[in-house]
Amino acid sequence: MGQAIVQVDAFTNKPFGGNPAAVCVLAAPQPDEWMQNVAMEMNLSETAFLVPRSDGYDLRWFTPAAEVALCGHATLASAHVLWSEGHLAIDAQARFHTKSGLLTADRREDWIELNFPVQPMQPVEPPDNLLAALGISQAEAVRHRTRQNQDDYLVELATEAEVRQLQPDFGRMLKLATRGAIVTSRASDYDFVSRYFAPGVGINEDPVTGYAHCCLAPYWQERLGKSEFLAYQASARGGVVKVRQEGDRVLLGGQAVTVMRGELV
């Protein structure tokens, strides 16, 4: 028998929406090169690898180009697989040991709630050509955060329409040595909308990004004066995220559906 692999659409309640991730539950750790090759072969924004331990699972995430330190949608997909494929009792908490510390997932009726660390960002003047590379003429505000020597930016625009219509120049973004940029605005049917572009790790646009909402939670808490939000990531696939900030943690609610089961031979 080969290694089982499951593909899940996360932050959606229907197939072919949200953000797809592949999930491998391994019997034992595998070499980094093998995991990176599997992620490259799957060619999804993230592939998650889990190894059981006495108090949960070790969890790592790989894009087709690199390992990342935090990923929301692939964690949501991993919890979904543990419960739906019989690895974990349906009423048990999923506990993940990661490069970002202990992360947990709990079932909330038809939703899964992730407990993640908040990712605050600091005000900054945008670097030369960032706004131009994003296709933005004027921003309401810009925030910055460096994580593991990689820069991320958060840019607020005046209107939801501007966020939805954005067409970045990814070639220019690659020249900025910036991992990614979150672009956001207030919204009519949600508290806020966003999009996330990360060509620096091989993902021009991520469909729905849990990590980005760990940055957006403290930002919109400051802007809107509340701690609980209904958010929408306005990519072509799109996805809904329930967001609640509690101190230095962010609770992310999402749904997930299995779309494919396979075997690596």
Q: For position 1, what pLDDT does the model report?
A: 66
Q: Give the integer Cα–Cα distance in Å for 50 and 150.
A: 25
Give pLDDT tens digits for 81-128.
999 999 999 999 999 999 999 999 999 999 999 999 999 999 998 877
Q: Which of 102, 100, 104 is nearest to 92 (CA)?
A: 104
Q: Report the predicted TM-score, pTM, of the whole model to 2 decimal places.
A: 0.93
- Domain 122-247 = CATH 3.10.310.10: yes
Six token digits for residue 80: 């979904």
Task: Give residue-wise pLDDT tens across range 124-139.
Answer: 988 779 999 999 999 9
Q: Output the pLDDT for position 186.
A: 98
- 3-113+254-264 against 122-247: fold identical: yes
CATH, domain 3-113+254-264, list 3.40.980.10, 3.40.640.10, 3.10.310.10, 3.90.930.12: 3.10.310.10
With a cut of 50, which residues of the chain have pLDDT below it?
none
Residue-level pLDDT at 151: 85
pLDDT at position 127 is 79
Active-site positions read: 46
Domain regions of the chain by residue span: 3-113+254-264, 122-247
